[in-house]
Amino acid sequence: MTDLATTPRPRRSSGLLAFLIRRSPLAVLLVGVFLVAAIFGPWLAPHSMTDTNLTVALQPPSATYWLGTDPLGRDVLSRLLGSAQVAAQAFLIVVLIGGIFGTALGLVAGGLGGILDLVVSRLVEVLQGFPTILVAIVIVALFDPSLTNAMIAVGLAAIPDFARVSRSVAIQLRDREFIQAARGLGAGELRILWSEVLPNMVGPLIVIASFDGAQAVLWEASLSFLGMGVQSPAPSFGSMLREAQGYLAIQPSFAIIVGIAVSGVILGLNLLGDAISDYLDRGGK
Amino acid sequence: MVKYLFGRVLGGVVTLFLVTALAFFATAFAPGNPASVLLGNMATPERIEAITRQLGLDQPLPVRYGIWLRETLLGNLGTSNVSFKPVNDLLLAAAFPTVQLALASLVVAVVIAIPLGLILAQNRNSWWSRPASGLITLGISVPGFWVGLMLIVLFSVTLKILPSGGYTPPSKDLWLNIRSLILPVATLAIYLIPSVVRFVRVTAISVLREDYVDTARAKGTAPAAILLRHVAPNTLVTTITYIGLQLGVLISGAVVVELIFSIPGLGRLGLNAVLNRDYPVVQGVVLLAATGYVAVNLLIDLAYALIDPRVRAR
């Protein structure tokens, strides 16, 4: 992102998709599979996600159970499809919290400047890098371990990222001609921020959403692994790996398969962020 | 420099204030009246009221926060709801393994990541530069705790050369202590390395574009000498700050690693406290970890000011 301010509004999305397929086919493939699994998972699942059957516990991949079974005899593939849906929920919660609060803070701070900017920048500086796990521990201790509560902590941690980017774009745009023109026409500062500045930072914000979305999936897995997120019997990448840990010596393929699946989702989102960032750097060409 | 340091200390104080507020709320809004929890089955309405007044629980929240803050600053963190041991003792016992794990991992990660990042920057136009960047992205994407599980499969289950968990204090047996920490430290270091390598690479590439590097090159200085004498020092200064920012990642990672390898550290203490709703311990762990985080970041800022003359002059 060399020059955020010259970034034009995103063109037709078909141009972006064509660019992404050329630039990073792996990202498109991984994110595509993730989205299909998250949206259509319940219909695609060959077996039940939660029904246990101890007679087929911990089986290796086979014709009936393509990716094997877990310690309670549940189909791993079906539970991975369910996990994808949970990961997508984690993504949405984190990006919504970080995106709405972070962007609003950064927009107002960068656009209006002055003492407000000073306070917001300091706050962002202070919060950036603060151990997410500590916030998660307090929230989960106060309320219950659940996906939403765990992801609120991660969403709070995403606020500084969105605030930083939107602030820097707002500062770059503040004195550009079209903003001054709007000001000359009598538009209020907040209205200018909303209808002139905000649409021009959609690109960089999508890049941050992609990276923080990858973090959200990673954190969902970590916190559920720790028992602070999704609770069994509901499937999630983290709770499956938690179940797998006790059986590393007996059936390591269970842990290996789940790990590859969650890594694939995170890798796809990270690569997608890189590729979209490239697209914006080249002015959408 | 005074102004710079003043700003940093102020930032640290603000963080700590937010953290104490957070930790306070963890108990103030915890379900269940502490007075009735304390009294257990001896609770009568009169006794609960007496204890409530004695603990200051009938006061408005800001006053309660003040009372709580005074007790905390005096080092009175209360007793565990579960084991009934003083929180101070629990924290003290758990702090050593965590500090040992975190420090060792940080040193290993930095020693590997910084040279790697510099080499990648130096060879940014070679054919293996792109696959190497791909590998870094892969490293950032793979969950650290899964790497830990895979290391257990490889070294404990298959090769049977390292323990899959447990912790021996160094005072008891130094060799066993080191053996018990190899896999946890490797897990945490592998978790940190990719992002540090990426940062060092990007920073070093921008340093390589500076005029003084061109001048050195024009004078005929060997590329390796340029890298060591001009690029490395200027890269390191920024990298120190970045590592300060990674401290939160290190703390979060340590919690997960302690759980996987059953290390009796702060992370496991805090985690068990959360799941048992042992609020005084939750509070103690959060306070201690956050204070450590703020203190180390302040030290890093101080080091930064001492190393970089441009900051010193401010």
With 60 as the cut, is the pLDDT of residue A13 above it? Answer: no
How far apart (Å, rounded) are the C-alpha atoms in residues A20 and A27?
8
Opening angle at CA A176, ends A172 and A177, nearest 5: 170
Q: Residue range B144-159: average pLDDT?
A: 92
With 70 as the cut, is the pLDDT of residue A152 above it? Answer: yes
pLDDT tens digits along B164-174: 888 989 889 89
Please give the structure tokens belonging to residue A73: 């005899």
Put simply, the answer to whether A141 touches B146 (Cβ < 8 Å) is no
Query: What per-residue confidence (pLDDT) applies to A1?
Result: 43
Q: Residue range A145-162: average pLDDT?
A: 92
How far apart (Å, rounded) are the C-alpha atoms in residues A259 and B146?
6
Q: Does B132 touch chain A (CB under 8 A)?
A: no
pLDDT tens digits along A97-148: 999 999 999 998 988 888 888 888 888 877 787 888 988 888 888 888 899 9
Look at domain A88-281 and name its CATH class. Answer: mainly alpha
How far apart (Å, rounded) are the C-alpha atoms in residues B182 and B255?
16
Contacts of A135 in chain B (CB under 8 A): 22
Put simply, the answer to whether A267 touches B138 (Cβ < 8 Å) is yes
Contact predicate B175/B168, CB 8 Å: no
Query: What per-residue confidence (pLDDT) applies to A262?
Result: 95
- The pLDDT confidence band at residue B30, using thresholds 50, 70 and 90, is low
**Helices A76-97/A252-281 angle, 10° precision:** 40
- The pLDDT confidence band at residue A2, using thresholds 50, 70 and 90, is very low
Put simply, the answer to whether A259 touches B149 (Cβ < 8 Å) is yes
Please give the structure tokens belonging to residue A35: 């989205």
Contacts of B14 in chain A (CB under 8 A): 122-123, 126
**Residue from the list B23, B145, B247 with its beta carbon closest to the beta carbon of A225:** B145
Contact predicate A132/A157, CB 8 Å: yes
Provide the residue count of chain A: 285
- The pLDDT confidence band at residue B237, using thresholds 50, 70 and 90, is confident
Short-list A87, A61, A73, CA closest to A252: A61
Contact predicate B239/B201, CB 8 Å: no
Put simply, the answer to whether A248 touches B157 (Cβ < 8 Å) is yes
Which one of B141, B158, B183, B296 makes the best mutation probe of the A interface by having the most chain A beta carbons within 10 Å?
A: B141
Q: Does B25 touch chain A (CB under 8 A)?
A: yes
Adjacent-strand bridge partners of B79: B86
- The pLDDT confidence band at residue B303, using thresholds 50, 70 and 90, is confident
Q: Does B23 touch chain A (CB under 8 A)?
A: yes
- Candidate from A146-155, A163-172, B91-100, B274-283 with smallest mean pLDDT: B274-283
Q: Which residues of A make CB contacts under 8 Å with B?
A: 122-123, 125-126, 128-135, 137-138, 140-142, 145, 214, 218, 221-222, 225-228, 241, 244-245, 248-249, 252, 255-256, 258-259, 262-263, 266-267, 270-271, 274
Please give the structure tokens belonging to residue A78: 């079906």
* Residue B278 DSSP SS3: coil
More confident: B1 or B289: B289
- Candidate from A166-170, B59-63, B296-300 with smallest mean pLDDT: B59-63
Query: What per-residue confidence (pLDDT) applies to A219?
Result: 94
Query: What per-residue confidence (pLDDT) applies to B184?
Result: 96
Put simply, the answer to whether B141 touches A266 (Cβ < 8 Å) is yes
pLDDT tens digits along A202-244: 888 999 999 999 999 999 999 999 999 998 788 999 999 999 9
With 70 as the cut, is the pLDDT of residue A6 above it? Answer: no
Domain boundaries, given as residue ranges, for chain B: 2-73, 91-275
To the nearest whole Å, the CA of A191 is away from the closest chain B CA by 32
Q: Does B293 touch chain A (CB under 8 A)?
A: yes
Query: What per-residue confidence (pLDDT) applies to B141?
Result: 93
Domain boundaries, given as residue ranges, for chain A: 88-281
- The pLDDT confidence band at residue A72, using thresholds 50, 70 and 90, is confident
How far apart (Å, rounded) are the C-alpha atoms in residues A77 and A156?
32
Q: Residue range A36-43: average pLDDT?
A: 91
Say which amino acid occupies A241.
L
Contacts of A225 in chain B (CB under 8 A): 145, 256, 259
Contacts of A224 in chain B (CB under 8 A): none
Put simply, the answer to whether A241 touches B29 (Cβ < 8 Å) is no
Query: What per-residue confidence (pLDDT) applies to A258?
Result: 94
Instruction: Identify the burial level of A238 via C-beta atoms within 10 angstroms of its C-beta, where 0-12 means exposed, 13-18 middle and 19 or more buried.
Output: buried
pTM here is: 0.87
More confident: A48 or B35: A48
Query: What per-residue confidence (pLDDT) applies to A122?
Result: 81
Contacts of A137 in chain B (CB under 8 A): 270-271, 274, 282, 285-286
Say which amino acid occupies A213.
G
More confident: B282 or A265: A265
- Candidate from A9-13, A164-168, B137-141 with smallest mean pLDDT: A9-13
Instruction: Identify the burial level of B130 via C-beta atoms within 10 angstroms of its C-beta, where 0-12 means exposed, 13-18 middle and 19 or more buried.
Output: exposed
Q: Quick one: what percent of chain B has pLDDT higher than 90? A: 34
Query: What per-residue confidence (pLDDT) applies to A99?
Result: 94
Look at domain B91-275 and name its CATH class. Answer: mainly alpha
Which one of B9, B16, B145 makes the best mutation probe of the A interface by having the most chain A beta carbons within 10 Å?
A: B145
- Candidate from A81-85, B130-134, B305-309 with smallest mean pLDDT: B305-309
